[in-house]
Structure 1
Amino acid sequence: MDFDSLLSHHRGKACVVSVEFFPDGSYGNIRVVAGNKAHCEDIEALTHHPFVPGCPYEACFPKNPNFEEHCCCCIRENRPLHAYVNLYMMNLWLNMFLLPLDSDQENIGYCFYCYDVAPKADSSAMADLSAETASNVLKSCIKLRGSEDVRSAFQEVVGDICDICGADHCCILLVDDEKRSCTNFAESLREGRGLFPMSRYINDFYNVAKTWPDTLAGSTCIIIKDERDMEKLREQNPIWAESLKQAGVHSVVLFSLRHGKQHLGYMWVINFNVDDVMKIKETLEVTTFFLASEIASYQLLNKLEIMSTIDSLTGVKNRNVMNNRVDEIVAGHEPVPVAVLFADLNGLKRVNDDQGHSAGDTMLCSAASILQAVFHDGDVYRAGGDEFMILIPAIEEDELQNRLARVHFLSGKTEDVRFSIGSCYGKKDIRKAMRLADERMYAFKNAYYEAHPELKYR
């Protein structure tokens, strides 16, 4: 066939790909049998070798099972295909089109492949989707942007994805490589299908998730649609294959969730409708792009919220949160706590002056840890430099005294942590309770320094 003549009329990068098919439906060699001038120049620039017609496709493009699947599907189903994918290993976006061609050989099929790459995502290329896919993606975006409860919105979206894919299970799994842990961010599970929720596996699941980057090998996704694919997976990734077998999984699509250069985690659908594999891939390819963006924004907002509410040194809640909590209680929006405590750290100034502020910081952190451990059912706030406030919603008065004794016992086991603590129990007016607790704390502190004048003052 005169492929060169066909390609000569296309100005962009284009080539003809051949696929060898076997009687059992599997495929063998995939080759680039011809390329136009733009393709040849591109390959020579990338590989520093001239293009050789009939070469294995991996001599021109990174080896990728998803690309192979697209070529096979285009030829088998005799229909054009389009994909727009993020080649994150190369920091590029690939816009590709495949058109089936006639063949004069029984076991060899051909497709016309034209493509372009760019360093940034092109919204117009991303929007070039089927009407059904575009509608599904748009619905997901509206739900995520239109909800004040982000986690609930994600939960609804994964439920929709489950329905679109005809799947038994859909999950968004966030991965923290530093902590070597996984978090189930959102999940949808069809009842009565014999699958278990991720909570059954999550504690040890990082050992499975850490194998996925090598299996992806630069691809945006992995598609396991039948026993033939599963057998290949057993050879490539026996750990994951065994976990799928034990979980009752016979088909899965796994996508990496990335935002820029940041890897967030993964999304998958399990036991999906394999007859719609290309539609599912197209839908998830674009959906995961937006999901990753929303997750990254959610994590950033969470981080900013934590930074604005948590004392960065001690890890307890900060003064702003304390003041807001008191205002809510005064306004009647929150119940008055049973007990209010003020705890002041004795001798911090002396430690700062004699040993330096790093020693003082260590002393503050130790003090905060003791208070959090003892008053685990309350809220500990850093009210000022060396002062903490604790609000306890419900506790018996005898138990409160036992807890106070426990604080002094634990601080006595440290080298330098000593507390002056004042408490108020059972007052219905939060302002009065705070004032009484503060007064009692200072009375305790004055008595302490009278007994230890060498530590005076503060």
Structure 2
Amino acid sequence: MDFQTFVDGLKPMACVLSVEKKEDGGYGEIRIVAGNKPFVEFAEHPLFAVTPGTIIGKFRKNNLYDKYLPKTPDFEHKCHQSAILKKPVHTYLNINVANLWFNLFFLPLDYEEGNLCYCAFLNEKVDVDDIDMASSSSMNISNDVMKTCIKLRGSSDFKATINEVIHDVRKLCGAEICTISLVNQSEGTLSLLATSKADDCSIRPLDQYPNQYDVTMSWLDMIGERDSVLIQSEQDFEYVKEVNPQWYQTLIESGVKSIIIFPLRHNWELMGFIWATNFDTNNTSRIKETLEFTTFFISSEIASYIMLKKLEHVSYTDMLTGVFNSNAMNSMILDVVSKKSFIPKPYGVVFADINGLKRVNDESGHQAGDILIKKAALLLQEVFLDQDIYRAGGDEFMIVVKGCTKEEFFEKIDELKERTSDPDKVCLSVGCVFNDSDLSIRDCLRISDEEMYKNKDKFYEDHPEIDRRKG
């Protein structure tokens, strides 16, 4: 077959690819055996070099495809589907950083030569307004995804609803586990927003690895300018082993046999990733389209959630100390009283008030007083590690202590009192209650507050020279 004459008759950028067929039906080397003028101009242009800065030189037939095109498992799967399985494939490619869209066609050629099968690859730039998502994805997939994602609209509990959505998406994909993670690149942190696991899932979750953020961000290099990364065949895993050995080791240790990952972006800003693991590889195309539609529908909802969390953080954080402020405390109390949330019993409540703050303000100025308040907050965070600490007022703090026994709670109280007994340092009056009965949150607050003020009065009786409360 005269491949050159064939591609020369095609207007869009086009080439013919040979795909080596293995005995087990898999694929081996993929080479470019012919290219039309637009493709040759693209291949020879230094701006489009696969490795930036390299000199490609003249286009030569029968080179491995990754000399001229980015090497990705997804591209190879489409070549395999088209050339060996004789299925026409159409998809869109979005170059996120430039907001460019391309029509990609893989057309099977009815010609084989020994163990070599062939397909034509056509690439055409398309305006975003002309994209018809339904042309590359069935309406059934679109409807299935829309039915579950629509739950997010108007939901009063985003976290619970997004977990419902990811559960539905996992079932649509026939996957063992499906996950949405959020990344904060400025802080170098990763958090799991939602995850769903099959009952018999044995995969080790990503959040159990100490290097989870680094592993996750390494996916970007593999995704590159494309929309996803797909790993399912032996060749794919060899590719990962070569370009990302750290992630390869994580995949092997976790028992991963297949994984497909999509980045979640909003206004070109990376928010996180969605991925399905150990999915039904007999329906890879359908699963890829399912996740593609899911990212399309949920990205704006997740962006809104992230923005609300940022606003909530500002609204609920004390700017001087970094602990929760009185807005957060009042909101927490209201939620518990109205039964929108609950604090599992037993739990402890602590009130702590700084002794001598007014004296410090009078003698050394309010900047010194602010330093004292910050020191008090840091000390409370050290004693009550990973507990909710609120700055209830100017010199007053409230702490809700969860997940400890009565003995452990009062050990912390004793430690706090011992570390804050010196009037010339951070000195606190403390009141507390341990709720292992039927006390309400308001009862706990009242009891601990009253005890704190009794202890404060006793402190100033013992140290009248410090008492400036009436001054």
Q: TM-score, normalised by structure 2?
A: 0.74
Amino acid at match of 1:230: F
Are the equivalent residues in 1 in contact too, given 2:182–2:191 (CA < 8 A)? yes
Give SS of 1:231's match: helix
Matches within 5 A, 1:24-173: 24=23, 25-31=26-32, 33-35=34-36, 40=41, 46-47=47-48, 52=59, 54=61, 61-88=69-96, 90-100=97-107, 102=109, 106=113, 107-116=116-125, 124-128=131-135, 129-145=137-153, 147-173=155-181
Does residue 367 in structure 1 map to residue 368 in structure 2?
no
Shift of 1:301: 1.9
Are the equivalent residues in 1 in contact too, given 2:17–2:121 (CA < 8 A)? no
Q: Which residue of 1 aligns with 2:276?
A: 269
- Matched residue count: 450
Are the equivalent residues in 2 in contact too, given 1:423–1:437 (CA < 8 A)? yes
Are the equivalent residues in 2 in contact too, given 1:254–1:268 (CA < 8 A)? yes
Return closer, same or farther for 1:305/1:448 CA change in 2, 3 Å cut-off.
farther
Return closer, same or farther for 1:39/1:348 CA change in 2, 3 Å cut-off.
farther
Superposition RMSD in Å: 4.7
Does residue 258 in structure 1 map to residue 278 in structure 2?
no
Shift of 1:131: 1.4
Return closer, same or farther for 1:78/1:222 CA change in 2, 3 Å cut-off.
same
Shift of 1:113: 0.8
Return closer, same or farther for 1:413/1:182 CA change in 2, 3 Å cut-off.
farther
Picking from 391, 395, 402, the partner of 1:382 is 391
Shift of 1:142: 0.9
Picking from 354, 357, 373, the partner of 1:344 is 354
What 5-or-longer segments of structure 2 have no aligned partner?
Answer: 50-55
Between 377-386 and 79-88, the greater mean CA deviation after superposition: 377-386
Shift of 1:285: 2.5
1:340-379 Cα deviation digits (max 9, x unpaired): 746134235635873772x443321221233455567986
Q: Which residue of 1 aligns with 2:301?
A: 294
Identity between Structure 1 and Structure 2 (%): 28
Shift of 1:273: 2.0
1:187-223 Cα deviation digits (max 9, x unpaired): 2222336x24527834454564454344444443332
1:5-46 Cα deviation digits (max 9, x unpaired): 876674xx4323323334444242432733366995898594
Amino acid at match of 1:94: W
Return closer, same or farther for 1:135/1:45 CA change in 2, 3 Å cut-off.
farther
Picking from 183, 193, 206, the partner of 1:185 is 193
What 5-or-longer segments of structure 1 have no aligned partner?
Answer: none
Are the equivalent residues in 2 in contact too, given 1:319–1:382 (CA < 8 A)? yes
1:389-423 Cα deviation digits (max 9, x unpaired): 45789999999998666434212479632235577
Return closer, same or farther for 1:407/1:135 CA change in 2, 3 Å cut-off.
same
Shift of 1:73: 2.0
Q: TM-score, normalised by structure 1?
A: 0.76
Matches within 5 A, 1:183-332: 183-192=191-200, 195-198=202-205, 201-203=208-210, 205-206=212-213, 208-209=215-216, 211-324=218-331
Amino acid at match of 1:362: I
Rounded Cα–Cα distance in structure 2 between residues aligned with 1:112 and 1:401? 71
